[in-house]
Chain A
């Protein structure tokens, strides 16, 4: 299935540091989306990057996409304690009806 696999599974950093999370997938995609989930709550859409884009920015977020390597990365700069959450990538192809998620990266930002 077209499921993203996030790496690392867990990440602990100090406030102010940058956090980088990676996502790998297996087949060709139309776009790839990143979501954040605070503990036990709903997912919040962060950013969508299309297959013909290589990099996208949104505030402190920077997403890259390398379709030749079938991988994406999410960089959070100048992290804050409020960034503590699980982060999921969802690679998407137009042949499917739903997003598929991996197990996510659990980010802990220490104040």
Chain B
């Protein structure tokens, strides 16, 4: 069975541009969460989606948005990119709405570099 997949693997953008990152959860998983990990730090929670609805949001500006599709895949959008948005963006899926008793399975991440 395929694990969590993310695309693209790497991305280079310039300040002010917009970016869309994609995630496909494990088959049968209905919850997708997004995390941002800057170099040298642990992942920071951005969003959680379950059954196509936003169920949780971290402390990120409105430039960050996401959505979940009927097939449970998800997109993370970031507008007006800043240098500080350079990071590894991780997607995690879990079977049900995350009550933190469910194991979260992480994808390999998308490395975003903003120049």
- Size bracket, chain A contacts: 20 to 34
Q: A28 an interface residue at 8 Å Cβ cutoff? A: no
A sample of 11 cross-chain residue pairs with beta-carbon separation below 8 angstroms, ordered by A number, consists of: A31-B100, A40-B111, A41-B109, A45-B103, A97-B55, A98-B48, A98-B56, A99-B104, A101-B42, A103-B41, A104-B42
In the bound complex, how far is the Cα of B92 from the Cα of A33, in angstroms? 14
Quick check: B42 and A94 within 8 Å, CB to CB?
Answer: no
With a cutoff of 8 Å between Cβ atoms, the chain B residues found around residue A92 in the complex are: 100-101
Q: Which residues of A does B touch, CB under 8 Å?
A: 30-31, 33, 35, 40-45, 48, 88, 92-94, 96-104
Quick check: B104 and A41 within 8 Å, CB to CB?
Answer: no
- Size bracket, chain B contacts: 20 to 34
Q: Which residues of B does A touch, CB under 8 Å?
A: 4, 33, 35, 40-45, 48, 55-56, 58, 88, 90, 92, 98-101, 103-109, 111
Quick check: B90 and A93 within 8 Å, CB to CB?
Answer: no
In the complex, residue of chain B having the shortest beta-carbon distance to the beta carbon of A89: B42
**Interface class of chain A by DSSP:** loop
User: Known: A98-B58, A98-B98. Contact between A41 and B33, CB under 8 A?
Assistant: no
- Which has the most chain A C-beta neighbours within 10 Å: B100, B101, B103? B100
In the bound complex, how far is the Cα of B56 from the Cα of A102, in angstroms? 19
With a cutoff of 8 Å between Cβ atoms, the chain B residues found around residue A104 in the complex are: 42
The smallest C-beta distance from A11 to any residue of chain B, in angstroms, reads: 16
The smallest C-beta distance from B91 to any residue of chain A, in angstroms, reads: 8
In the bound complex, how far is the Cα of B109 from the Cα of A40, in angstroms? 8
With a cutoff of 8 Å between Cβ atoms, the chain A residues found around residue B48 in the complex are: 97-98
Quick check: A41 and B108 within 8 Å, CB to CB?
Answer: yes
The smallest C-beta distance from A16 to any residue of chain B, in angstroms, reads: 28
B99 touches which one: A41, A42, A94, A100 (CB < 8 A)?
Answer: A94
